[in-house]
Structure 1
């Protein structure tokens, strides 16, 4: 299945609620952000705190067009925490930080509009 980032793409195939529950999406607070110049596509290396039960996890995020590294620490973001870690160059990305493509195709982070506890699960 190919997922498109285009706003006019047709919806994905129907899934059951149990399938949705398999994807563990949690909120965390970015602790640190640093450039990742070795990545093939411009990206940042993030360290995100998901609270005491999950802990701190690393993520490579292609968000350089809409954010500077100085904008990110302290910001809450949503991430899939139960995908297998993925090697991005020399960096092991442990979670998939979530976002939407803006009108120019650059990623805009997905985050709660009010503070919530780190580790809270999306439902």
Structure 2
């Protein structure tokens, strides 16, 4: 009867949210470790956003580079990001493996800005 009134509804909502976040974390971790370079453990839903200082990004990347090496991975919310440090390594990635790194993922905003096969131009 308490669930119908709403007295115990908050505890059910909190339990459901925690359960879904844990399932999300376990599912992502299984695929994350197999495909990406090592990096800090992401939080469910937020990824590594709380571990970065957005006002001083070079220092954040410097600290992560000391711990995880020249190539490490981050997760920005649900999007994985691979960070490559060092001129020699960046040149190898962009020049020697250019076919693998030249394509960018599709972004929905491009359709509205006038890029892509379904885009429509805007007249002023």
With structure 1 as the length reference, what TM-score do the two structures score? 0.21
Normalized per residue, the structure richer in strand is 1
Greater gyration radius: 2
Q: TM-score, normalised by structure 2?
A: 0.20
Bigger fraction of residues in helix: 2
